[in-house]
Amino acid sequence: MTVAVLKALGAVFVAVLLELAVFAPLHIGGGSADVVLVTVAVVALLTGSVVGAVAGFWAGLLLDTVSLSTLGLTSLLLTLVGYWCGRYGETTARDRAHAPFLAVAVITVLYAAGNLVLQFTIGEPTSARWILFDSLWPQLIMNVVLTLPLYALFRWMFPRRTLIASMTREVELVG
């Protein structure tokens, strides 16, 4: 578990640097890929909800720090992203090839909606149209495309036994 957490934190750190240096400045069709979100989702799918939540929290903390924005907001959203994807990976997503793509697509939409709600809550000027329509669709497509290479990479980094170790905590002897 500790090794998995450390590897997840390292992967998220690299993802944040990649996001800042490569992906954020590349605007395609009015949006850009969110490699940090995809990384948190995929790592959580492969490692479980606890590691996913910790990775999400760390990713949010890093993003809020480097962008000098309100600490804790992105952490809150990405913690929930990591937890939800982790639970999905531990339960219904097992052995399903479409699971990473579905998880990333759903999470991209929910993350945008959550971000919009938080921005409204803290009184920042924002636009539902821009967040939920203009920039969301290109980002959704790019995130799903990014899922394939990232899932392959992280499946190699996090062997399946990491998730099994997480899942067996819930095994009951039923017969």
Give the shortest CB-25-to-another protein separation in angstroms: 6
* Residue for token pair 């990491």: 162
CA distance 109 to 96: 21
Structural contact between residues 139 and 108, judged by C-beta atoms closer than 8 angstroms: yes
Structural contact between residues 76 and 60, judged by C-beta atoms closer than 8 angstroms: yes
- Residues 6 or more apart from 116 whose CB is under 8 A from it? 126, 128, 131, 132
Give the shortest CB-139-to-another protein separation in angstroms: 8
Binders of another protein among residues 98 to 157 (CB under 8 A) are 119, 122, 124-127, 129-131, 134-135
Q: Which stretch in 37-45, 52-60, 103-111, 144-152 sits in contact with another protein by CB under 8 A? A: 52-60
73 binds another protein (CB under 8 A): yes
Please state the φ and ψ torsions of residue 28, each to the nearest 5 degrees.
-125, 120
Tokens of 2: 């500790």
> Distance of alpha carbon 101 from its chain centroid, rounded?
12
Give the shortest CB-81-to-another protein separation in angstroms: 11
| Residue closer to another protein, measured from CB, 6 or 165 | 165
| Residue closer to another protein, measured from CB, 148 or 165 | 165
- Residues 6 or more apart from 175 whose CB is under 8 A from it? none
Give the shortest CB-168-to-another protein separation in angstroms: 4
Give the shortest CB-92-to-another protein separation in angstroms: 10
Q: Please tell me the count of residues contacting another protein according to CB under 8 A.
A: 62
Structural contact between residues 128 and 116, judged by C-beta atoms closer than 8 angstroms: yes
Interface residues with another protein (CB under 8 A)? Answer: 1, 17-22, 24-27, 31-32, 49-50, 53-54, 56-57, 60, 62-73, 75-76, 79-80, 83, 94-96, 119, 122, 124-127, 129-131, 134-135, 161, 164-165, 168-175
